[in-house]
Amino acid sequence: MSDLHVRCATLSDVGTVLRFWREAAEGTSISDDHDGVARLITRDPGALLLAERDGLLTGTVIAGFDGWRCHLYRLAVHPDHRRAGIGGALLAAAEERFTALGGRRGDAMVLDENALAQHAWRAAGYAPEPQWSRWVKHLEA
């Protein structure tokens, strides 16, 4: 098996990333569309990290930093490539990014029903904080 390569996404990757998420990620978000992902890449070109092996997209993570907090979204590994260190490599790259930017704590969005993801996050050293709940409001365009 060849080496894994982690790189930042470019605008030319948007369609591939969206197709990948439909196959490899659980759930969708209101911003999981071409405009949302393109806006992310344009605003913060280092935030969307892609893992590739032999030119094939095998994993993603969004490592967003707002200058205060480090947020992790869309950690996804293709089902055919799981348990091969891809998620760990993506998280290591995200954590390196955060450290370089001055971040001090990463937090992740993890679906309550996704036991496989919860196991992966725990294995990477993350833990839930039961005193916090996510509150959302969809904004009108």
Which structural domains are found in the chain, ordered by start?
4-123 (3.40.630.30)
What is the reported pTM? 0.91
Per-residue pLDDT reduced to its tens digit, 108-117: 988 888 888 8
136 secondary structure, DSSP code:
-
Structure tokens at 38: 């393109």
**109 CB-near residues (< 8 Å, 6+ apart):** 71, 72, 73, 134
Report d(CA 64, CA 82) in Å as an integer: 23
For residue range 57-86, what is the model confidence (pLDDT) as tens digits? 999 999 999 999 999 999 999 999 998 999
